[in-house]
Structure 1
């Protein structure tokens, strides 16, 4: 570890070699880094495309997205198409605990970076390959990004059912979910390695992860064979499953249990609905979701957001104001818990980022490393691997390291 590298997080002492780009892989490795792992981000000479895939940069190669997804990592630039650059990467992997990649499997095999090849180099290595599609299926090896996966997995189809046309969630949701699943799988593999001493090969396919996410929520009555009814949760697929208008804005109210629903009916001045067979029980409200939501829509338009929040709070009905993205920056609860944190980046100046939401009573990462400029620690990391100053200079001269 570099000087000052002691982190106090639960993954302190775990070294991760991160050969990932864009979002899905960097989300995974950021999660590991936030929990104390030493993550070394390896970039090709052209750099991670996410460095440039956003507006509002202070410098062209340091987008806000890149900074957010790559904190707590050190950076090295190697041209692994050159033998000397690939040799440096293999030396780095030889001393690592985890190798994470979202390079397509065929590319890894060509470079000798597949799980079998690296197991011979480092038998304790956890090799995690994040792919678009599982290796056993006909889509294996195809390129894909989040919109492709949202379209294939049924995520866009949930909007089709709800609002009449397919849409994408306006964030790269399947990247986020898959990245976090990959980090979870790595944690499981590290635990098993502690007992066996042997490494592990992990495959995390985006399509299957997203399809499982949708199926868990919407398989419903089709879980039975033969099906007991159609797929889809009628409540979640209602066009009125959304923040609803009040007299001066929007509010979200979501009574779920019978007690909460009955309290909601009292709060809106419709106590007779407690005995209405369409709404008296959770099962009935699910079966009559469209009518139930229409009751909400009609009632909530009659008062202001603040008035409803006060009324619902008095009756312990789950409700919240509607936040825009900009509102999040000023949300009082997030201020209370120190969610927004400031840092001074050595080249990008004053920055704001969202801290990791998870806390550990046994200790957290003590300090945040700034997202690296490209190749920021190349010489430092090569020296740690045993390269002499003359050898580092030679790697630079050939372009194998930058």
Structure 2
């Protein structure tokens, strides 16, 4: 047994980031994820930097612990192969629009008859109950529609900008993963599979509005929208005399300790703007602006010593290189060096959870395109001759072996 989902078989029809990120978590936790790719492969295989064609850095992180099968689902014979896989699967996950799945003959109603225990999980842009149901969606679009660039500008950015990471795809991917595992628990209790829809827009709205609906949560409103602390213009890494520091002087205990550390113990009692959590929120621009002025008077190391003694949460501002070199990251082995069969030496992140039982493992590297087509089809009862004939007809792509590629 390797991971809590050992024995769960997932047919993964997803591409780009949201779906593959969800299925990568399932795969890390032990599920047998069979990634069904079109003949051209997942688009993220093409995203550099890379050493070999179709093995881009994004794909290498999203594809680990999965098996790659190439099927042309535009051909009837390719769809028949997929249906054979689905009969013995626990989960089918996809992230194209449901209308497209129905046109392929892969809608929920058809597959539920074929496998009543199947968890049929779809992830796409918008709830199918509203007028945006058929719209295409990507991370940047959903960030914009959820107000993230607008919030960034309201918080002090010179212009609206997206979060500098694929934020929505990964948040929605985690919601998709949670929904799938919850549906599996329900199935094990009742014997019944079900359809699960995870829309990006509504999923990300639950994150943003949970924080920023604020006064508009009440009917009638008791204040404006927007959580004051998150939107404070000086809520940022603070400049010190020689760099930057991240610090959260947050509760009453922290503020008392901070004023004592800088030799102004009376200020907590005499300045009403600091006297309570609600007063600090009301005057947040003053509070954070004043804090920034104070922090600029000493070096980062000096402040880190002060905050450690005062038991106030603080940390250095890291770059990506700093993260890789960090002593804690190195001590825990979170960033590991592995040997990939075709891509040579790679850095990968460890599975970011720790278990006393059913410990997940990195079982296999991200596969080359079609690496496991023959292996998987043999498991499902196809004969070698049938596999070769389908490959000759372009129904599937089967990589005969892992080539020895020189890195470039």
If the length of structure 2 is used for normalisation, what is the TM-score?
Answer: 0.95
Q: Distance between the aligned counterparts of 1:50 and 1:239, measured in 2?
A: 36
Deviations along 1:308-366, whole A, 9 cap, x unmatched? 00110001001111101221111111112211122211111111111121112112124
The match for 1:352 is: 347
Structure 1 residue 259, shift from structure 2 partner: 0.3
Deviations 1:163-188 (A, max 9, x none): 25311001110000000000001111
Q: Which of 328, 331, 340 in structure 2 is aligned with 1:336?
A: 331
Shift of 1:46: 1.1
The number of aligned residues is: 395
8 Å CA contact retained: 2:10, 2:92: yes
1:51 and 2:48 aligned: no
User: Aligned to 1:278, what secondary structure does the other structure show?
Assistant: helix
**Structure 2 Cα separation of the partners of residues 214 and 357 of structure 1:** 24
Equivalent of 1:65, from 58, 67, 74?
Answer: 58
Deviation at 1:266, TM superposition (A): 2.1
Distance 1:20 1:128 in 2: 10
Q: Distance in 1 between matches of 2:184 and 2:255?
A: 45
Query: 1:391 is paired with a residue of what secondary structure?
Result: helix
- Of 74, 96, 100, 2:93 maps to 100
Give the TM-score normalised by the residue count of structure 1: 0.96
After superposition, the CA RMSD in angstroms is: 1.1
Is 1:249 matched up with 2:249?
Answer: no
Alpha-carbon separation, structure 2, partners of 1:152 and 1:215:
12
Task: Tell me if the contact between 2:65 and 2:364 (Cα under 8 Å) persists in the aligned partners.
Answer: yes
Aligned counterparts of 2:286 and 2:259: Cα–Cα separation in 1: 14
- Whole-Å separation in 2 of the counterparts to 1:210 and 1:141: 18
Q: After superposition, where does 1:174-213 map in structure 2 within 5 Å?
A: 174-213=168-207
SS in 1 for 2:245: strand
Segments ≥4 residues shifted beyond 4 Å: none
Q: Are 1:386 and 2:378 an aligned pair?
A: no
Structure 1 equivalent of residue 160 of structure 2: 166
CA distance in 2, matches of 1:286, 1:366: 44
Listed as ranges, the gaps of 5+ residues in structure 2 are 398-408
Corresponding residue number in structure 1 for 2:263: 269
Any conservation in 1 of the 2:245–2:300 contact (CA below 8 Å)? Answer: yes
- 1:60: Cα distance to partner? 2.0
Are residues 367 and 213 of structure 1, via their aligned partners in 2, closer, same or farther at CA, if it must alter by over 3 Å? closer
Any stretches of 5+ residues in structure 1 without a counterpart?
A: 1-5
The CA deviation at 1:269 is 3.3
For residue 84 of structure 1, report the CA deviation from its aligned partner. Answer: 1.1
State the distance in 1 between where 2:196 and 2:263 align. 55
2:377, 2:362 → 1: CA distance? 23
1:132 aligns with 2:125: yes
Shift of 1:302: 0.8
Q: 2:201 & 2:247 partners in 1: Cα distance?
A: 32
3-state SS, counterpart of residue 307 of structure 2: helix
**Aligned equivalents of 1:311 and 1:109: distance in 2?**
62
Query: 389, 393, 403: which is aligned to 1:398?
Result: 393
